[in-house]
Amino acid sequence: MRISSLGEAEPFVTGDGSTIRELAGQVSLPALNQSLAEATLPPGGATERHYHRRAEEIYLIVEGTGRMELDGDEREVRPGDAILIPPGAWHRIEATGEEGLRLLCCCAPGYRHDDTYFE
């Protein structure tokens, strides 16, 4: 059995501009078909608008408030909200609160830099 700890996960910045700590996936636990990571954005920070050709994503907002854009539809998000992002859907998220934004991101198949496409 292998267990990954958030406190031991090395942070890195993804192509979209968020800081990620991967809990399961290619970098940490050798998950074959999915990944799980914590993403953080500072107050006023936002990801670059992008899509993933292969990966389906689910965001779970853990702390802070934000504004999620998914294929032109914009909504306010807060802790406890889950957002499904289908493959090919353009998306971006912005931290709108004073404390920044923290979310869990699950991707299937697992997150890969080369599956992230920008405008």
Domain boundaries, the chain: 8-118
CATH superfamily of 8-118: Jelly Rolls (2.60.120.10)
pLDDT tens-digit map of 23-54: 999 778 889 899 999 999 999 999 999 999 99
Q: What are the angstrom distances between the C-alpha of 62 and each of 3, 27, 32, 90? A: 21, 22, 25, 22
Q: Where are the beta strands (DSSP E) in the chain?
A: 12-13, 19-25, 29-30, 35-41, 50-52, 56-63, 66-70, 73-77, 82-85, 91-95, 101-108, 116-118
Please list the pLDDT of the chain residue by residue as tens digits (119 residues).
989 999 889 898 888 888 999 999 977 888 989 999 999 999 999 999 999 999 999 999 999 999 999 999 999 999 999 999 999 999 999 999 999 999 999 999 999 889 999 98
**Is-above-0.95 flag for pTM?**
no
Q: What's the CA angle centered on 91, arms 87 and 96, to 5 degrees?
A: 145
